[in-house]
Amino acid sequence: MSQAAVIPQNAPEVWKLPSRGIVGMACLILAEAAIFLIFVVAYVYYIGKSLSGPTPRDVLTLPIFATICLLSSSLTVHLAVSTLHGDKRRLCSLWLAATVLLGSIFLGSTALEWYHLIYHDGLSIRTNLFGSTYYSLVGLHASHVIVGLLMLTLALIFSLRGAVTTRHTERLQVLSLYWHFVDGIWVVVFLVVYVLGR
């Protein structure tokens, strides 16, 4: 047996380290936040620099309802984790379903907004700088929402099949961290695009 470095007097102390999933997700969030930062910087830098219309003031309307849906989905996913922690699996499925529903509403309203912008206002990614930055920033966020929704749907399916138990609390918590991050980023995007940018 290979002899390892053992110093007896230190053995009894309690050795507890943070969970891998949460630290890993925190790292991922840090990296993703840096990506968003660059897109936000590009957006802010190009505000008012478009050579031709349409301008944000002409075409953008505040997506209040979608924002409320997305932000409240943060609450529902939190409730899903805490109910799973309390071993109420049915309730957990319910909250997960609510989260997926709210997220889908958000995604749907973004899709509607894009449809409107493209076919009614004539703003595409090629039109001007505003179009380029708007679609890239909002699109980046929307793609994160899609990834999050896919994962949540997967969790929901497993939960409905009864495969999710209290043992999986931590994994669901890691997923909920990601979802909180997506929601938090939306606050930034909302402020930059719809408040500052107009």
Partner 1 sequence: MATQTPVPAVLDQTTSTACRPMWLEVLHDWVTTVDHKKIGLMYIGYALLFLVVAGFEALLIRIQLAIPNNTFVSPQVFNRLFTMHGSTMIFFVAMPVLFGFGNYLIPLMIGARDMAFPRLNAFSFWVSAFGGLLLYFSYFGGSGLYGAGSAPDVGWWAYAPLTAKAFSPGHSTDYWTLAILLSGVGTIGTALNIVTTVICMRCPGMKLSRMPLLVWIYLVMSLMAFVTISPLTAAQIMLMLDRYLGSHLFDTQAGGSAVLWMHFFWIFGHPEVYILILPAFAFANEIIPVFSRKAIFGYPAMVAATVGIGFVSLSVWAHHMFTVGMGAGANTFFVFSSMTIAVPTGIKIFNWLATIWGGKIRFTTSMMFAIGFLFQFLIAGLTGIMLAVAPFDWQLGNSYFVVAHFHYVIVGGILFMLFSAFYYWYPKMTGRMLSEKLGKWHFWLFLIGFHLTFDIMHIPGILGMPRRIYTYEADRGWMIWNLLVSSGAMIQTVGVLLFVYNLVRSYFKGAVAGADPWDGWTLEWSTTSPPPSYNFAVIPSVGSRRPLWDLKHPEDPDNNYE
Partner 2 sequence: MNNDEERTQSGVVELPSPTAWPMVLALGLALICTGMVTNVVIGLLGLLLFVWGGIGWFLQVLPHEQHVEVPVLNEEIEIASSRRLKARLPASDMHRKILPIETYHISAGIKGGIAGGIAMIVPAALFGLIRYHSIWYAANLLAAGGFVSWIGASDAFLSQFHMQGLFAAIAIHGLTSLLVGLLYGAVLPMYPRYPIVTAGLVAPLLFTGILHSALGVISPILNQRIDWFWFVISQVAFGLVCGFVVNLHTRVRTAQFRALPFAVRAGIHSDFAARNDPAEKADKKDQAQ
Our finding on whether 61 is near partner 2 (CB under 8 A) is no
Our finding on whether 5 is near partner 2 (CB under 8 A) is yes
17 vs 51, beta carbon nearer partner 2? 17
Our finding on whether 37 is near partner 1 (CB under 8 A) is yes
| Contacts of 147 by beta carbon, 8 Å cutoff, 6+ apart | none
Residue ranges in 76-135 that form contacts with partner 1 under rule CB under 8 A: 125-126, 128-129, 131-133, 135
CA atoms of 167 and 74, how far apart (whole Å): 22
Our finding on whether 27 is near partner 1 (CB under 8 A) is yes
| Contacts of 10 by beta carbon, 8 Å cutoff, 6+ apart | none
32 vs 121, beta carbon nearer partner 2? 32
Contact (Cβ atoms closer than 8 angstroms) between residue 141 and residue 181: no
In order of 59, 117, 124, 157, the CA distances from 68 in angstroms are: 21, 21, 26, 25
Among the candidate windows 31-39, 54-62, 86-94, 166-174, which touches partner 1 by CB under 8 A?
Answer: 31-39
Question: Which two three-digit tokens encode residue 164?
Answer: 């999710």
41 vs 163, beta carbon nearer partner 2? 163
Our finding on whether 57 is near partner 1 (CB under 8 A) is no
CB atoms within 10 A of CB 151: 14
Buried b (16+ CB within 10 A) or exposed e, 155-185: bbeebeeeebeeebbbebbbbbbbbbbbbeb
Our finding on whether 173 is near partner 1 (CB under 8 A) is no
Residue ranges in 137-166 that form contacts with partner 2 under rule CB under 8 A: 163
Q: Which residues bind partner 1 (CB under 8 A)?
A: 1-7, 9-11, 13, 15, 17-20, 23-24, 27-28, 30-39, 42, 45-46, 49-51, 125-126, 128-129, 131-133, 135-136, 140
